[in-house]
């Protein structure tokens, strides 16, 4: 994945680019199709946001054989195998300088993973609703509300915020725009 767009982003995005470049994480994990997901790419990160890297993995052992030698000596390194919605996943966390880093891998293409879909729909909403909405998301996140629940609260979504945003990922631009107008929002 090309993250060079971060070099011309805000200060935090430029810092993230420098950290990821020093880590060489996209070269190290190239065989696992790494993608930077989460809040930093779409400019809704807050002070304690981490760098979320999602990967596709077929065999957990193959990924572990890359992660442990590459990052095992870094501060707060932890690696676990888990099951999530029937899928085997690996979660690897560590700290690199000021950045908490999380690598999440499952046996699914990165573009089909929930974290990627959430980021895409959140970015579409942010582009439509502009800086005031973005600031409101950040305020909720700074108060401890997770990203998807923050969007759900601001958009008036009921039910499971994670599932509601996944459903919205598949909406075309017309349907998304109509929904936002029905919720009382005007395009930025």
Reported as a single tens digit per residue, the pLDDT across 173-184 is 999 999 999 999
Q: Is the pLDDT confidence value at 1 over 70?
A: no
- The pLDDT score that the predictor gives to residue 131 is 94
- The pLDDT score that the predictor gives to residue 4 is 85
Which one is predicted more confidently, 2 or 64? 64
Comparing CA positions, the residue from 123, 115, 120 lying closest to residue 87 is 115
Q: What is the mean pLDDT of residues 148-152?
A: 97
Q: Nearest-5° angle of CA 55, CA 107, CA 73?
A: 45
Do 55 and 29 meet the contact criterion of CB atoms below 8 Å apart? yes
The count of other CB atoms within 10 Å of the CB of residue 172 is 8
The token pair that represents 140 in the structure block: 């909720």
Q: What fold does the segment set 4-110 form as a domain? A: Beta Polymerase; domain 2 (3.30.460)
Q: Is the pLDDT confidence value at 188 over 70?
A: no
Q: What is the mean pLDDT of residues 70-80?
A: 96
* pTM: predicted TM-score of the whole model, two decimal places: 0.93
Do 108 and 117 meet the contact criterion of CB atoms below 8 Å apart? no
- Give percent above pLDDT 90 in the chain: 87
> pLDDT grade, residue 187 (50/70/90)?
confident
- The pLDDT score that the predictor gives to residue 84 is 85
**Domain ranges, ordered by start, for the chain:** 4-110, 116-182
Dihedral (Cα; 26, 19, 166, 113), 10-degree rounding? 20
Q: What is the mean pLDDT of residues 94-106?
A: 96
């Amino acid at each position: 994945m090309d993250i060079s767009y971060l070099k011309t982003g805000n200060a935090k995005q430029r810092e993230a680019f420098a950290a990821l470049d020093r880590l060489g994480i996209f070269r190290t994990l190239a065989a696992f199709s790494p993608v930077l997901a989460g809040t930093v790419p779409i400019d809704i990160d807050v002070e304690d946001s981490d760098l979320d890297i999602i990967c596709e993995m077929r065999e957990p052992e193959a990924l572990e054989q890359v992660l442990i030698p590459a990052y095992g000596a870094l501060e707060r390194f932890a690696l676990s195998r888990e099951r999530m919605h029937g899928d085997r996943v690996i979660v690897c966390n560590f700290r690199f300088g000021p950045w908490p880093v999380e690598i999440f891998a499952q046996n699914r293409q990165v573009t089909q993973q929930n974290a990627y879909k959430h980021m895409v729909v959140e970015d579409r909403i942010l582009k439509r609703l502009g800086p005031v909405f973005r600031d409101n998301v950040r305020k909720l996140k700074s108060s401890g509300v997770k990203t998807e629940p923050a969007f759900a609260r601001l958009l008036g979504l009921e039910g499971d915020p994670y599932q509601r945003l996944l459903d919205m990922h598949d909406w075309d631009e017309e349907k998304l725009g109509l929904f936002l107008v029905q919720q009382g929002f005007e395009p930025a």
